[in-house]
Amino acid sequence: MQHTNLNQYDKLSKVFHWITAIAVAIAFVLGPGDFGRLLHNGIDPGTRIDIVWHESLGVTIFTLTLLRLVWATVRPVAPRPQMTAWMRFLSQLVHLVLWVLLFALPITALLALGTEGHPLTLLGGFRINELPFIANAHLSGLADWGDVHKFLGDVIMWLAGIHALAAVYHHVKLKDGVLKSMLP
Ligand code: HEM
Ligand code: HEM
């Protein structure tokens, strides 16, 4: 039998959660109003430290989320504090949508870069000038992925904000240990 503390997420789940939350917040703040315009005007993103950081954080989030998904299938059971059925449903729905967004953000970004022929530029001078695999994909023509990406960026911040408020509400009003279950 594996020993688990039923009131707490395991350590690795907490590490994934908090690194991701911080990285998403910074990536969002760095995603300045006119990334898209700069790129369309032919600015080389490799010369813009904010874009390089944004893309590096985004790729890191993508990698972490993939690893986290693998971990979520094998980790000790997540805590299940007592709550009403509708509250459990709502919280699981929000978690699910957050998970989907953590994948959808990097994917829409790569689709946008590939479709528009912009390079992927990361810290350390790493650079991929073209993503022909993406540029030629059928999916690429189906939307303005840059716009979709921007929209999803706003959605994840709103949802994460509501999710954080809910956690504080659990702590202050319901006193049910939900917030503590994810704290170090
Ligand atoms: C996963 C977390 C991410 C978040 C929260 C996020 C958020 C945002 C936001 C809010 C914008 C809008 C900026 C604007 O108004 O122009 C944006 C734009 C952009 N992001 Fe991200 N992003 C993420 C990941 C990525 C990744 C992984 C890449 C690259 C591989 C990337 C590349 C871009 C690019 C190129 C734009 C400009 C899009 C365009 O207008 O054509 N982002 N991002
Ligand atoms: C961008 C920011 C955030 C994202 C993307 C995010 C995402 C997630 C996800 C996907 C889960 C499910 C975890 C799992 O199954 O391992 C979760 C759980 C949790 N998060 Fe966040 N989160 C963010 C920010 C925050 C903040 C700021 C707080 C606290 C103020 C918070 C508190 C919690 C708590 C307490 C849980 C456990 C809830 C439960 O089991 O019902 N999160 N979060």
- Does the structure show a pLDDT above 60 at 3? no
How many A from CA of 3 to the centre of ligand 1? 41
More confidently predicted of 116 and 153: 153
Q: Does residue 6 sit within a domain?
A: no
Question: pLDDT band at residue 105, thresholds of 50, 70 and 90?
Answer: very high
Domain of residue 87: give its range.
11-182
DSSP letter at 173?
I
Residues 6+ apart with CB under 8 A from 148: 108, 112
How many folded domains does the chain comprise? Answer: 1
Residue 31 included in any domain: yes
What's the pLDDT band for 1 if we cut at 50, 70, 90? very low
In a domain, 1, yes or no: no
How many percent of the chain have pLDDT more than 90?
82
- Which pLDDT band, with edges at 50, 70 and 90, does 2 fall under? very low
CB within 8 Å of 103: residues ≥ 6 apart? 62, 65
What CA–CA distances, in Å, run from 131 to 56, 116, 121?
A: 16, 10, 12
Here the CATH number for the domain that contains residue 93 is: 1.20.950
Can you tell me the mean pLDDT for 103-121? Answer: 95
Q: Specify if 18 maps to a domain.
A: yes
Residue 166 CA to residue 171 CA, distance in Å, equals: 9
Q: Does some domain include residue 135?
A: yes
Distance from the alpha carbon of residue 152 to the mean position of ligand 1, in angstroms: 9
* Distance in Å, CA 23 to ligand 1 centroid: 13
Q: What is the pLDDT of residues 23-48, one digit of tens each?
A: 999 999 998 667 778 888 888 999 99
Residue 117 lies in a domain: yes
What pLDDT does residue 4 have?
Answer: 54
Residue 176 pLDDT greater than 80, yes or no? yes
Query: Mean pLDDT over residues 141-146, rounded?
Result: 93
Instruction: Give the confidence band of 125 by pLDDT, cuts at 50, 70, 90.
Output: very high
Q: Which residue has the higher pLDDT, 20 or 47?
A: 20
Ligand 1 probe mutation, 150, 152, 158, most atoms within 8 A of CB: 150
